[in-house]
Amino acid sequence: MQARAYQVQALDTIYDKWERFQRIIVVMATGLGKTVVFAKIAAHESRCGNRILILCQREELIAQSLRTIDATSGIPCSIEKAQDRAADTSIVVASVQSMSNHERLARFKRDAFNVIICDEAHHIVSPTHKRIVEYFNDARLIGFTATGFRADKKALSEVFEIVAYEYGLKAAIKDKWLVPIVARTIPVQIDISKVKLSHGDFKPGELHDALTPYLSACADELKAINRKTLVFLPLVKTSKKFASLLQERGIKACHVSGESRDRTEIVRRFRDNEIDILCNAMLLTEGFDCPDISCIVVLRPTKSTPLYCQMVGRGTRPVKGKDNLLLPDFLWNVERHDLCRPADLYAPTPEIRASMVKQITSSQDEFPLDIAEENALQQVRHDREKTLARYIAANKNRKAKTLDPVWWELLACDQSSTYEPSFLWEREPATHAQKEFIDRSGFDPTSFTRGYAAYIIDSLMERRRDGLATPKQCKLLQRFGYKKVETMDYDKAMRIIDRIRKKGWKR
């Protein structure tokens, strides 16, 4: 099994980070083959004489890990779950629920494993995961997750030291490894304003009660969507009810849950297109692959970005004849509490998200998320230009030897104001090399932390790779009255500055 270019890059970056950090995490969008990456890591570590423990949440993920390791290396593995006991193999694939049992852990020495690989690592802060990681405390740890990292980053920093590699949804879609996503507003007003929260998310039982009056209207709307569809609902009884309503409308629909005796047969029928719409209550959020799904319906509203990304990720895999993934977006009435919407998959800031949501909800046509984001960026740039003009006017007489970060953020639409340190190392003082780079870029480095410095340097390096003007060039050209300097090429900026210099610094 040949690794793709980004998978090779991930492996190189992982081993580079492991030289400095013992506990690292990798973020790769669903459908990009994170199992292939950690299977290759397991094979490499095994050949180096190390013992590896792979932790999985579900039975499907255990089976997937075993298949992938066999396909990539053929190295034998053993299983630790339920009635199965691990044999003396270098790679052990274990169920988290079984492995976290105190008696089960006691069967292993604390130094039994040199490396722990945690699949679906956004669960790492759960007591079961932490018990295992703390027991094998000296082992190197690497976690893999496909979810949006924003919501869980601070919690995950309790365990992990750094994000070693990240290849997100937008980048993968741009590189054509995943399909584009389009959203369509469904004109059904669903009132969940009275639903209470538990552990930061909506209570499933109360969601069921709130959704039930609207299920018939939702079923009517889905009848017009002629796509292979996966529907997520809050409870098993909600899922059964919705599947029944779809069947009443002549739609080939079915419900599946962990309690379904014919669960494997139902999934097979869905894969073979004998079923058009499959309803479930959180059963298929992880480890379920059916590439020709082209519509995901989230009737299980959530405030959790990782959970939302997991649900949507079931439909982003490419397959011949599939042009995009459709996300029907209902008109949720939530009042005090916001919830995850299609815009959250793309929007880097709250202001861009708000603009994207407004665009999508104002149209009942299919709205590509990349176009919605680009429109939002243009609006944000327009608003920031006005703010920048007022800022420049208020500070026109101010003389400073260094550049103002506020001015740069407004000028370049840099999102540094949204930066928040999460990992401990980010709060440390900036390194000497970082300070030198920031100083050369024209900013005062004295107040920069190591994390903020890394954030700014990354953004400046990205501008350099794109061939754009430096902050110093932008400031100088702006002083001589030039507009849109933040989008000017570096070489063009150099030519203009050279002409100004030859004319005695006159425009």
Whether residue 168 is found in the same domain as residue 200: no
Q: Are residues 153 and 258 in the same domain?
A: no
> Residue 128 belongs to a domain with what CATH number?
3.40.50.300
Same domain, 258 and 278: yes
Structure token pair of residue 304: 């959790």
Q: Give the pLDDT score at 392.
A: 74
Which domain, by its residues, includes 277? Answer: 181-340
32 within a domain of the structure (yes/no): yes
Report the C-alpha gap between 302 and 280 in whole angstroms. 15
pTM above 0.95, yes or no: no
Q: Is residue 48 part of a domain?
A: yes
Helix then strand then coil, % of the chain, to nearest 5: 45, 15, 35
- Evaluate whether residue 251 is within a structural domain: yes
Report if residue 68 sits inside a domain: yes
Q: Are residues 107 and 141 in the same domain?
A: yes
User: What's the pLDDT at 424?
Assistant: 77
Consecutive 10-residue averages of pLDDT for the chain (507 residues): 88 94 92 92 94 90 89 90 87 93 91 93 87 94 78 70 90 94 95 90 94 96 93 96 96 93 92 96 86 96 88 94 95 81 88 90 90 89 80 72 82 67 83 94 90 89 93 91 90 94 85
Assigned domain for 353 exists: no
One domain for residues 194 and 291: yes
Residue 327 and residue 308 in one domain: yes
Look at residue 425 in the predicted model and tell me its pLDDT. Answer: 83
How many structural domains comprise the chain? Answer: 3
Residue with tokens 């970060």: 405
Last residue of one domain, picked from the residues 130, 158, 174: 174
The continuous run of DSSP H or E covering 12 comes out as helix 5-18
Q: For residue 402, what are the contacts with CB-CB under 8 A and spacing of at least 6?
A: 442, 443, 444
pLDDT of the residue at 1: 67
Residues 401 and 296 placed together within one structural domain of the fold:
no
Tell me: do 257 and 150 sit in the same domain: no
